[in-house]
Amino acid sequence: MSTTVDIPRFVRAKQVEALPPPNLARGPIAWVRENLFSGPFNTLLTLVVFYLLYVSVPPLVKFLFIDAVWSGTDRAACRADMGGSETGACWAFIREKLGYFTYGSYTVSERWRVDIFFALLAIGVGWLLWLKAPRRDLGAVYFFWLFPILSYILLTGGNSDFSGRFWIGFLIFGVLLIALFAFVAAILKTSLRPALIIAGGIVAVIGITLALMDIDFGLRHVPTSLWGGILVTLLVATVGIVFSLPFGILLALGRRSKLPIVRMASVIFIEFVRGVPLITVLIMANTMLPLFLPGDMTVDRLLRPLIGTALFASAYMAEVVRGGLQAMPKGQYEGAMSLGLNYPQMMILIILPQALRIVIPGIVNTFIGLFKDTSLVAIVGIFDVVKTIEASRIDPNWAAPTIGLTGYAFAALFYFIFCFGMSRYSLGVERRLAAGQKR
Amino acid sequence: MQTVVSQTSPPKKSILYDPKVRGVFYQVLLVAIVGYLFWIAATNAIENLQRAKIASGFGFLNNTAGFDISQTLIQFSAAGSDYGDAFVVGLLNTLIVSAIGIFFTTILGFLIGIARLSRNWMVAKVAMVYVETLRNIPLLVQLLFWYIAVLGPLPQPRNSIEMGAGFFLNSRGLFMARPVYTADAWAIPAALVIGLVGSFIYRRWAKAQQERTGRQSPVGLVTLGLVLGLPILTWIVLAIMGANPISFELPRKGTFNLTGGMQILPEFVALLLGLTTYTAAFIAEVVRAGILAVSKGQTEAAGSLGLKPGQTLRLVVIPQAMRVIIPPLTSQYLNLTKNSSLAVAIGYPDLVQVFMGTVLNQTGQAIEVVVITMGVYLTISLVTSALMNIYNRRVAIVER
């Protein structure tokens, strides 16, 4: 077979010189061309975005930093008619009011107690969130028991001054509880020791808690009406966290329970709370809680929204925890049962440690939501960060046109730092937990 | 003998170890505790109400309201309307701000969600910064900011900014022409219904034709023409015939205020802006997750079947992404509706502000007011989640 194709008979005798590397495959220019100007549409998009940035960023930077007023003692610094500048943020106002934004009207000489509260909170949070921290079980005891008591004593001044009759009543209650446990153990014909240890433990924990609240540490009493600012915001968030996690776990277990009434009660509570806005819950706590208590009993103004937010957060927490419980393979439950563990042992020793671990990102996201939601207590008249800013905004001493925007910029920055930090943490944990599943 | 028998028969168990008995015991205990709490609360409440001389029952809904509301979609006056009317006004205001907010936030959220996945680095980063900033600042702070930012630069009514075409802007809001319908106005909604029905029929026909012959019809264009074009055409024809179906009442400038026309409150604008931009950040994340959930193999398979990129997106990626997107999207819509209750902070007269605020303060009937308000939100949530469950059952992947 002969082909008609004319094969060029040319053999190069000498090697061609290598071409220089394409100078636009890497390096910043190539990157820009690849990522920003790879086609007419892309170029147009980039230009539009550049224009939007040009319109929005320079004025913002100018307002927040360049034209901002950094020092001053009253409104004169931030008013054009009084010789100041009113084209930029009035940070002097924030500097002047920072104490108020942090502590509210908390007695000035006692503010060191709030600082200690902040430090204790930071220790607890760090202990629990740092996954490699030593003895995180002790951390949990600290955060969910010791820390709330210490905070109560520090912030209010403690010294609840229970009467002698109260202590006699508690003594009777303790003896009765221990007797009841011993009685049940006797009926069940089990050994007496664990029953006595559990009963004694419960009585001791309650007793120590009450005793600590009762002891007079010589701290001055500071009524909750004086608390405010960051203190209250962190307090509401912390109480929400401390309360919502255990209660949310209980609700989630209730919702997964085989007992129909327990399950129904949990479902009704969770769906009811998740179906209504937080404000309505807060207003309900504000107006209806006093109605439900005996006439001579009053609930502290700060306690009402605390209860409201805690219940609200529990319902959301319950759904997150339920997700973790459902993600547990059935074999874990069956394995635990085949070892002869009873329900509490199975949950505490086998299921919950694993289930809670996989929902840490979800839990942190709930906390972020809770932290943002604490701002709503301002609407029912609690002096949190937002409310203290609202109150300072109308201070005639600082009547200037930029005060409002400056105040809200400060609030936004405050919330952003906390929430963004938490979300980064949750991302990190997520990545770490996913490392085991990576192939 | 007896010892042998006792060894082979199961050991006698105490009734207390029976799981059923224990279950019943725990549930009885729960019912007793909850029932006791409710009983205490109820007796205390009755006693407290009697002492405070507050009437109970829902009769107060028929009492004269005696206060004015700044935005009313139905006829409402302080003297002539009762608390029941105030409730309806609040509810309608909540619903309208939620509906408009949902419309805009969906558009914005989808845009930003898609932008986050853009191959254009600039666009993706700007979208990311938007989402991270908006998600990490409480809505309340954002609303207060918008309220100041919107309201601050606006002038007094007497110095209203004239924007032409009957639009005026001042510190009391945006004033614009109000449509006045004449007797012939029914023709336009009628044309819209005809257009909807027609486009529906056309779609079915186009689908049948594609399955028969493989040819595609311009469904989108025809639908647009029928749904939008037909009413507009009707309007134009009617106008030419001299029977103008809709005329506009322009706001007139008075000495102190504007009269006539339609007014959009600055509170409404601030609330709408806040809700829209805030929820859009969350919807963007939902959309991004949904699109990422469609595996790359789907796109490649569509490509190897010869579908164009646009068709791949429309026929393969979006239908599958929607299955992931719709449930969390709905819960974002619910969140927006619930978050509209933050209106109370900036004074937009929504359900919470009017009913749980003013009416509750005036009547003192906390229990009834709280029950009604919560009932409304609960109904909205439960109905939505019921619809969602039906939808989920329909789109769920059918597995063997």
Tens of pLDDT, residues A103-130? 988 888 889 999 999 999 999 988 888 8
Q: Supply the pLDDT for residue B4.
A: 47
Q: How far apart are CA B358 and CA B344, in angstroms?
A: 10
Confidence of residue A282 (pLDDT cuts 50, 70, 90): very high
CA–chain centroid gap for B88, Å, is 17
Say if the Cβ atoms of A46 and B122 lie within 8 Å: yes
Position A373 in a domain: no
* Chain A nearest C-alpha distance from B256 (Å): 24
Q: Supply the pLDDT for residue A76.
A: 82
Q: Which two tokens stand for residue A341?
A: 């563990």
Position A46 in a domain: yes
A55 touches chain B (CB under 8 A): no
* Chain B nearest C-alpha distance from A281 (Å): 8
Minimum-distance CB partner of A284 among B141, B149, B370? B370
Residues 6+ positions from A337 with CB-CB distance below 8 Å: A346
Say if the Cβ atoms of B27 and A259 lie within 8 Å: yes
Distances in Å between the Cα of A436 and the Cα atoms of A320, A426, A428, A429 are: 21, 17, 14, 12
Architecture of domain B55-157+265-400: Orthogonal Bundle (1.10)
Kindly tell me if the per-residue pLDDT of B3 is higher than 50.
Answer: no
Please write the tens of the pLDDT for every residue from B229-286. Answer: 888 888 888 878 777 767 777 777 666 666 666 778 888 888 999 999 999 999 999 9
Position A79 in a domain: no
Nearest by Cα to B263 from B274, B254, B251, B272: B251
Q: Which residues of A60-82 are buried (b: 16+ CB within 10 A; e: fewer)?
A: eeebbeeebbeebebbebbbeee
Please write the tens of the pLDDT for every residue from B79-121. Answer: 778 888 889 999 999 999 999 999 999 999 999 998 998 888 8
Kindly tell me if the per-residue pLDDT of A160 is higher than 70.
Answer: yes
Kindly report the average pLDDT of chain B as a whole number.
Answer: 83
Please write the tens of the pLDDT for every residue from B49-85. Answer: 888 777 777 778 888 877 888 777 777 877 778 888 8
Quote the domain boundaries for residue A45.
30-66
Position A57 in a domain: yes
Say if the Cβ atoms of B47 and A265 lie within 8 Å: no
A56 touches chain B (CB under 8 A): no
Q: Supply the pLDDT for residue B269.
A: 87
Please write the tens of the pLDDT for every residue from A62-95. Answer: 888 888 888 888 888 888 887 777 788 888 889 8
A295 touches chain B (CB under 8 A): yes
Higher pLDDT, A7 or A264: A264
Position A60 in a domain: yes
Position A13 in a domain: no
Q: What is the mean pLDDT of residues A303-315?
A: 92
* Chain A nearest C-alpha distance from B343 (Å): 10
Per cent of chain A over pLDDT 70 is 96
Q: How far apart are CA A228 and CA B256, in angstroms?
A: 41
Number of domains within chain A: 1
* Chain B nearest C-alpha distance from A220 (Å): 34
Residue of chain B nearest A367, judged by CA positions: B136
Kindly report the average pLDDT of chain A as a whole number.
Answer: 87
Contact indicator for B226, B198 with CB cutoff of 8 Å: yes
Q: How far apart are CA B88 and CA B75, in angstroms?
A: 11
Contact indicator for A109, A117 with CB cutoff of 8 Å: no
Q: Supply the pLDDT for residue B12.
A: 60
Position A179 in a domain: no
Say if the Cβ atoms of B120 and A45 lie within 8 Å: yes
Position A357 in a domain: no
A296 touches chain B (CB under 8 A): no
Residue of chain B nearest A401, judged by CA positions: B152
Q: Supply the pLDDT for residue B131.
A: 94
Higher pLDDT, B20 or A412: A412
